[in-house]
């Protein structure tokens, strides 16, 4: 039977490339997004026109009830989930002396609460403890977790540090229940996320000097690693974090 994958934040960037590659590999694909309905519908059409199966799942993954509802829609469509990619994320830019409750909560909701809420729903369906058949959870962190991020990115870096720790802890919690848990730390990848930090052209220049490979990465280069982690080829890879960062 076909495997089902749910990717959060799949309307553009890294999530969109994971969705396209997953469809090429024969997965049924749930594409979560927040606002970008047009972009996600175009991706669903690309996949279904190519003979694949995909659905768009609008939900703010930082909202516990919305996540529960999203998984129920996925249940109705395909009745199971094999792979969850916690990819949705938000990059903001502010100095620490300018922080307030809203600024810090916005980042942690999008990047960390989302990972908890989606993992909760996935575990309830995948874990052998709950009658499931196992599965794989992939958490998208960032090299910011170990480098501190670019200027103004402390909240983002701290949220990704939380993902690295969560990844280790969750691997211990559910590994013996048939669920493999791994993370990816992308480096500077060519997506719209960099608008918060001077835009893509600026980051292309930064990459020339700070990335040992001398360039930004493509979203598809992250997608390849995510799909490998999800595959049986990675059956003994668990609780680890893979840097996809051009040596940075």
Catalytic residues: 156
Stretch that binds ligand NAP, among 81-89, 171-179, 204-212, 223-231 (CB under 6 A): 81-89
Instruction: Considering the complex, state which of residue 85 and residue 127 has its C-beta at the smaller distance from ligand NAP.
Output: 85
| Contact with ligand NAP (CB under 6 A) among 6, 18, 32, 171 | 32
Stretch that binds ligand NAP, among 27-35, 123-131, 172-180, 206-214 (CB under 6 A): 27-35
| Contact with ligand NAP (CB under 6 A) among 6, 15, 27, 174 | 15
Q: How many residues bind ligand NAP (CB under 6 A)?
A: 29
CB 167, CB 141: distance < 8 Å: yes
Q: Token match 């994958």: residue?
A: 5
Stretch that binds ligand NAP, among 45-53, 124-132, 188-196, 207-215 (CB under 6 A): 188-196
Give the 3-state secondary structure of residue 137.
Answer: strand
CB of 149 to ligand NAP, least distance (A): 9
Asked if 87 touches ligand NAP (CB under 6 A), the answer is yes
**Secondary structure, 3-state, 15-67:** HHHHHHHHHHCCCEEEEEECCCHHHHHHHHHHHHHCCCEEEEEECCCCCHHHH
Residue 119 Ramachandran class (φ > 0 left, ψ -120 to 50 alpha, else beta): alpha
Q: How many residues does the chain have?
A: 248
Residue 86 backbone phi and psi in degrees, to 5: -85, 90
Asked if 215 touches ligand NAP (CB under 6 A), the answer is no
Asked if 139 touches ligand NAP (CB under 6 A), the answer is no
| DSSP single-letter state for residue 112 | I
| Contact with ligand NAP (CB under 6 A) among 19, 28, 33, 230 | 33
Give the 3-state secondary structure of residue 193.
Answer: helix
Task: Give residues with Cβ within 8 angstroms of 61, minimum separation 6.
Answer: 8, 9, 32, 34, 67, 70, 88, 110, 114, 117, 118
Asked if 68 touches ligand NAP (CB under 6 A), the answer is no
Stretch that binds ligand NAP, among 49-57, 95-103, 168-176, 185-193 (CB under 6 A): 185-193
| Contact with ligand NAP (CB under 6 A) among 188, 207, 227, 242 | 188
Q: Which residues bind ligand NAP (CB under 6 A)?
A: 8-15, 32-36, 60-62, 87-90, 110, 140, 142, 186, 188-189, 191-193
């Amino acid at each position: 039977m076909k495997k089902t994958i749910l990717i959060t934040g799949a309307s553009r960037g890294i999530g969109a490339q994971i969705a396209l590659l997953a469809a090429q590999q024969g997965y049924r694909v749930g594409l979560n997004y927040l606002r970008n309905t047009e972009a996600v519908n175009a991706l669903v059409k690309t996949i279904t026109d190519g003979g694949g199966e995909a659905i768009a799942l609008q939900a703010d993954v930082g909202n516990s009830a919305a996540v529960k509802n999203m998984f129920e829609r996925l249940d109705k469509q395909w009745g199971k989930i094999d792979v969850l990619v916690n990819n949705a994320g938000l990059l903001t830019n502010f100095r620490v002396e300018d922080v307030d409750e809203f600024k810090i909560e916005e980042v942690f909701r999008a990047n960390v609460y989302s990972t908890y809420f989606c993992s909760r729903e996935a575990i309830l369906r995948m874990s052998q403890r709950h009658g499931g058949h196992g599965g794989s959870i992939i958490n998208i962190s960032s090299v910011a977790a170990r480098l501190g991020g670019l200027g103004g990115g402390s909240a983002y870096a701290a949220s990704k540090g939380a993902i690295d720790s969560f990844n280790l802890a969750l691997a211990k919690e559910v590994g013996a229940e048939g669920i493999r848990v791994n993370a990816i730390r992308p480096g500077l990848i060519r997506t719209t996320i960099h608008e918060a930090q001077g835009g893509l052209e600026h980051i292309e220049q930064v990459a020339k000097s700070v990335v040992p490979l001398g360039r930004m990465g493509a979203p598809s280069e992250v997608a390849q690693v995510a799909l490998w982690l999800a595959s049986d080829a990675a059956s003994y890879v668990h609780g680890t974090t893979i840097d996809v960062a051009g040596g940075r």
